[in-house]
Amino acid sequence: MTIREELEQRERTYLSPLAVCSADTLGRDRPMEPCPLRTEFQRDRDRILHCKSFRRLKFKTQVFIAPEGDHYRTRLTHTLEVSQVARTLARCLRLNEDLTEAIALGHDLGHTPFGHSGERALDKLTQTGFHHNEQSLRVVEVLEGGEGLNLTKEVRDGILKHSGSLKPMTLEGECVARADRIAYINHDIDDAIRAGVLKEFELPQDLLRVLGETHGQRINTMISDIVRESRDQPHLRMSEEVQQASDELRTFMFQRVYMDAWRKEEETRCAHVMEALFEYYMEHPSQMPLEYVQITYRDGTERAVTDFLACMTDRYAIRTYQNLFVPVSFPVL
């Protein structure tokens, strides 16, 4: 018996009947020889962790654009926090941690530079619209390595449905969708206070009485509530009280941080950069890297330009804009 087979047998013994066992995966588009050491979902996790798109998350915005402070979240640290919360949920509910982790690590691979500001800009610029969850799926199915990562169907489904109205096909996917919201609501409060956008005393006290006074208490309340309410249930859920408080806290963050006046000024600048780059490369597609030029022949120029811009980090987008549009003075001889 291989180590993989031992792990698969252990899953069948320990996991909830509602969990997805690795040996029962719906499989990949392109069949592969099983790994003797890793289950299929462990293999997916490793493929995501080692891909270029994952490394680029280090320099992509979470909320604050290209932050200079070392303690602000980036899209990468957000992803790691989502993974931690999601794995805790999966472990407590006896779901498949490896599947959960793979979905969590891949859920934001398609995010644009400048966070949701860049996403909204591309959505307006393209004829078919742009959503980061759909782009994340495109990254793992098409763009990485020129032919995608060939992940299992369960992981791809969880990546696509981590946001929006569609329910993931697995409870592990639901863990990631819940963890994404838990993570960003709480760590964005932390970053907003650090940036001086919010003061701690401005947080709604009635919500803190339900969820907790500190960052750690609020996360613990949300996770513990989901575990209590969801054990042996076909879907994840919160109690009415905690769900309402969480939703109201999210609404507060939209009003005070995500859509406030300071944010709109930054969003205008980000949109200008994205629009200028989009128009330039639509007119000069041959100046994109070769892998994106090749996409123009298969999927059209707009699709290729969208892929290229979405893959950019904040600093690469800013530097490219400066190189293309900002005059450079001649040296004095």
Q: Is residue 272 part of a domain?
A: no
Counting DSSP H helices and E strands in the chain, the numbers are 16, 0
Res 67: pLDDT: 66
Q: Is residue 321 part of a domain?
A: no
Q: Is residue 149 part of a domain?
A: yes
Res 301: pLDDT: 98
Res 265: pLDDT: 81
- Looking up tokens 């998350």 gives 57
Confidence label for 62 from pLDDT (cuts 50, 70 and 90): confident
pTM: 0.96
Confidence label for 165 from pLDDT (cuts 50, 70 and 90): confident
**In the predicted structure, residue 211 carries a pLDDT above the cut 70:** yes
Residue 85's CATH number: 1.10.3210.10
Report whether 12 contacts 21 (CB < 8 A).
Answer: yes
Q: Is residue 233 part of a domain?
A: yes
| Domain with 254 in it | 3-19+39-261
Q: Is residue 243 part of a domain?
A: yes
Residue 117 neighbours by CB under 8 Å, 6+ apart: 61, 65, 266, 267, 270, 271
Domains in the chain: how many in total? 1
Confidence label for 266 from pLDDT (cuts 50, 70 and 90): confident
Tokens of 315: 């600093």
Confidence label for 180 from pLDDT (cuts 50, 70 and 90): very high
Res 66: pLDDT: 65
Report whether 64 contacts 187 (CB < 8 A).
Answer: no
Q: Is residue 66 part of a domain?
A: yes
Longest dimension (CA), the chain: 77
Side chain identity at residue 141, one-letter code = E
Res 61: pLDDT: 87
> Is 244 in a helix, a strand, or coil?
helix
Condensed to tens digits (0 to 9), the pLDDT of residues 214-251 reads: 999 999 999 999 999 999 999 999 999 999 999 999 99
Q: Is residue 288 part of a domain?
A: no
Q: Is residue 301 part of a domain?
A: no
